[in-house]
Amino acid sequence: CYRNPGVWKPEQFPEDYQREINEVLGVFKARKDEIIADIDANFGAGRRGMYVYQWYGKHKIDNVPEFNKDYKYIKTIAVSVFSKRESTSWHFGPLRLSLRILYNLIPVQAEIFVQCGSKKNYWYDNPLFIFDDTLFHRSVNEYDGRRYCVFVDIIRPSPFPKLIAGLLAIVSVSVERINSVFYKNWKMIGSSKPKATPN
pLDDT digits 0-9 by tens, 127-165: 999 999 889 999 999 999 999 999 999 999 988 888 888
pTM of the complete model beyond 0.85: yes
Between vectors from CA 158 to CA 153 and to CA 160, what angle results, nearest 5°?
A: 110
Pair 150, 25: CB distance under 8 Å: yes
Mean pLDDT over 34-46 rounds to 90
Pair 63, 194: CB distance under 8 Å: yes
Per-residue pLDDT band for 187 (boundaries 50, 70, 90) equals confident
Q: Domain segments of the chain: what residues?
A: 7-189
The per-residue pLDDT for range 82-109, each reduced to its tens digit, is 999 998 888 877 677 899 999 999 999 9
Looking at residue 117, its pLDDT comes to 92
Residue 121: is its pLDDT beyond 90? yes
> What CATH fold (topology level) applies to the domain 7-189?
Jelly Rolls (2.60.120)
